[in-house]
Structure 1
Amino acid sequence: MPTIEDLHRDTTSAVAAPTPTNVATPAPPRAFTPRKKKKPWKSWLLFLLFAGPNVALLIVFTYKPLLQSLYYSTLQWNLGSASAIPVGLGNYVAWFNDPGTVRVVTVTLIFTVATVGGGMVIGLLFAVLLNRKLHGRGAARTVIVAPYVLSGVAVGLLWLFVFDPNFGITAALLDAIGVASPPWYNDPHWALVMVIIVYLWKNVGYVALIYLAALQSVPRDLLEAASLDGARPMRAFRNIVLPLLGPTTFFLSITTLLSSLQSFDIIQAMTKGGPLEGTTTMMYQIYQEGFQAGRAGYSSAVATILFAVLLVVTLIQMKYVEKRVHY
């Protein structure tokens, strides 16, 4: 039987046992070498390669004309004249003091609200209809979208025959029910209504196409769950579909607003701003003052004011309207 001295001797020898020579010792840590940063000129070269052409086109065809127009608006300059007189803000003061400015702004507001609001509502209705399983749905989509790709001048000339008070289709249809054709060409109010109808006919297909694409991306399971919960189709559309269409509605509100405020071709082809300037919008006034009256400086001032209006409206939409959009 081992004694206490033997146990103490064995424990001491075990602790003091030498380390085997065949155990590998860990290698010392390698020194940290930082990665080489990419050379900045390579990043700039890659940026210029991809974005350079687009930036150059924007500078040449957008920002340069914008700055030139801003400069011309401070001059009393007739188109084609070799000399110009600096007038500062004189053209802007003249436009705001012009008695016809109120009429032009009113026509622009009526035209914009009617075409943007009407186009959004009618386009959404067409999109909902074309999203259903109907016979001839493909042909119907083509018919609705086709006017959008047509020339505005051609559309305006075509609809002049439609609205002709003596031989037009509208006159024949109204005469069949015993109603006289309105004076589309002679009354300023009816002329504006005529231009609005033609603009909606041409551009509502664009709104319907965008809304149709958005409707097809709405998850079917949400609508099925609402149906199982007893929600009626109209309630499901109002509470589920419309909020999901928020981003599309926000996008269309900006694009259609910009397009409406810059409308020119249909007005030029149908009414040329008349009668009695009843269809003269700010965009058409720019053309009248610059190319008909030759007042290039005054026309540039109106163009700058219209640009400022477009910029302010767009910023307001992006700041306040976008907050209500559910992505």
Structure 2
Amino acid sequence: MTTTATEPRDRAGDTGPAEPPQRLRTRRPGAVREALAGYGFLAPSALLLGVFVFVPLAGALALSLQRTNGFGEGTWIGFDNYARLFGDPVFWRASLNTVLFTLVVTPGSMALGLGAAVLLNSVLPARGLFRSILILPMAVSGVATALIGVLVFDQNSGFADSMLGALGLPQVDWQSNGTAAFVSVVLVTLWWRTGFNMLIYLAGLQGISRELIEAATLDGATVWQRYRYVIVPMLGPSTFFLVIMNVIYSFQVFDIVFVLTGGGPRNATTVLVTYAYDNGFVVRDQGYAATIGVVLLVVSLAFTWLRWRTSRTRDLVG
């Protein structure tokens, strides 16, 4: 039996396969220059990120380990502020309000945004006008949106109670009733966030190949089946992005709650950020306020990581 040129040769009784020759790594001409150029473009953003994000985060973490009263240097107390959270009923009430707010606003605003995107992606007349109306709240700040909410839900001269009175319905104590106050915050937030969700979903709908829809139609799929089994799954990346953005926003909501209700009545609308604000700027306990902020950051990062690990449609391409 003769050996071919491609068969390994036995050396010193070694009958095993020969190791493949290692390839010499050659550096492409200009690679160093391109890498330096890339780092040069990245440097301004990295510098701004470090100065305005990472340095304040490190300062907040250090501050959370101190007892402060707003004057002079703080006293190092270790993790006492974190232990204090477990026995603070207002913190748990604010946490419950934040979770409830998130569970209502996130799916509600996404469902409204998806419905609006579907309508505005069809042959609806005056689509451009309706798109502008829905996106308009995004052009104003949260404070301005909350001030509009005050005009609507004011107990004495609000538009909502005037409409209820004109319809012969009993008026609602929007600012002195805890449940009604929470509902008013949710309604204003939904009005503000729906346009953003609609815009992202509309971009996702316009990125879906029409051949997929036509193929499903030719196979006999109904309108509901096309949306259920074709369109909605293809919107996976948009849904993945919106879930994270809406949850993070809901965790960090402040301006609408602060202007509309101030966290009242009786902490019925107090959320974690407003509670941190009260501790930091009213009570002047910046250490405890920083502790609440650190906990909120950890929860947001944990949710984002969990969502990233469990999502199966984040990289789906339409």
TM-score interval, normalised by the smaller of the two chains: 0.7 to 0.9
Question: TM-score, normalising length from structure 2?
Answer: 0.88
**Inter-partner Cα distance in structure 2 for 1:294 and 1:234:** 55
Counterpart position of 1:23:
none
Q: SS state of the match for residue 311, structure 2?
A: helix
Whichever residue aligns with residue 62 of structure 1, its letter is V
Asked if the contact 1:243/1:325 (under 8 Å) is kept, the reply is no
Aligned pair partner of 2:42 in 29, 51, 73? 51
* Correspondence list, 1:210-225, <5 A: 210-225=200-215
Q: Is 1:163 matched with 2:153?
A: yes
**Inter-partner Cα distance in structure 1 for 2:69 and 2:192:** 35
**Inter-partner Cα distance in structure 1 for 2:79 and 2:154:** 44
Asked if the contact 1:73/1:91 (under 8 Å) is kept, the reply is yes
Q: SS state of the match for residue 133, structure 2?
A: helix
Backbone CA RMSD of aligned residues: 2.0
Asked if the contact 1:290/1:296 (under 8 Å) is kept, the reply is yes
* Correspondence list, 1:283-294, <5 A: 283-294=273-284
**Inter-partner Cα distance in structure 2 for 1:231 and 1:310:** 40
**Inter-partner Cα distance in structure 2 for 1:55 and 1:264:** 27
Asked if the contact 1:73/1:299 (under 8 Å) is kept, the reply is yes
Cα deviation, residue 45, structure 1: 3.0
Counterpart position of 2:22:
none
Asked if the contact 1:148/1:204 (under 8 Å) is kept, the reply is no
Question: TM-score, normalising length from structure 1?
Answer: 0.85
Whichever residue aligns with residue 244 of structure 1, its letter is M
Cα deviation, residue 325, structure 1: 6.2
Asked if the contact 2:175/2:181 (under 8 Å) is kept, the reply is yes
Counterpart position of 2:262:
272
Whichever residue aligns with residue 160 of structure 2, its letter is T
CA deviations 1:275-315 (Å, max 9, x no partner) are: 11111111111111101110010001100000010010000
**Inter-partner Cα distance in structure 2 for 1:126 and 1:247:** 18
Moved more, 225-234 or 59-68: 225-234
Asked if the contact 1:155/1:266 (under 8 Å) is kept, the reply is yes
**Inter-partner Cα distance in structure 2 for 1:289 and 1:131:** 46
Counterpart position of 1:207:
197
Counterpart position of 1:73:
64
- Structure 2 stretches lacking a partner, 5+ long: 1-24
Asked if the contact 1:184/1:190 (under 8 Å) is kept, the reply is yes
Counterpart position of 2:7:
none
Change (3 A) 1:89 1:136: same
Cα deviation, residue 39, structure 1: 8.1
Q: SS state of the match for residue 88, structure 1?
A: coil
Paired positions, count = 294
CA deviations 1:77-96 (Å, max 9, x no partner) are: 122x2121111000111112
**Inter-partner Cα distance in structure 2 for 1:96 and 1:40:** 54
Aligned pair partner of 2:177 in 159, 163, 187? 187
**Inter-partner Cα distance in structure 1 for 2:151 and 2:106:** 25
CA deviations 1:120-167 (Å, max 9, x no partner) are: 111100101111112211010000001012111111112211112343
Asked if the contact 2:98/2:272 (under 8 Å) is kept, the reply is yes
**Inter-partner Cα distance in structure 1 for 2:206 and 2:26:** 48
Q: SS state of the match for residue 133, structure 1?
A: coil
* Correspondence list, 1:114-193, <5 A: 114-193=104-183
Cα deviation, residue 227, structure 1: 1.5
Q: Is 1:197 matched with 2:187?
A: yes
Asked if the contact 1:165/1:183 (under 8 Å) is kept, the reply is yes
CA deviations 1:49-93 (Å, max 9, x no partner) are: 1100011011101111111100000000122x2121111000111
**Inter-partner Cα distance in structure 2 for 1:246 and 1:35:** 41
Aligned pair partner of 2:288 in 269, 283, 298? 298
Q: Is 1:97 matched with 2:87?
A: yes
- Structure 1 stretches lacking a partner, 5+ long: 1-33
Cα deviation, residue 218, structure 1: 1.2
Which of the pair has more CA radius of gyration? Answer: 1
Q: Is 1:238 matched with 2:252?
A: no
Q: Is 1:317 matched with 2:273?
A: no
Whichever residue aligns with residue 70 of structure 1, its letter is L
Asked if the contact 2:240/2:313 (under 8 Å) is kept, the reply is no
Cα deviation, residue 38, structure 1: 5.4
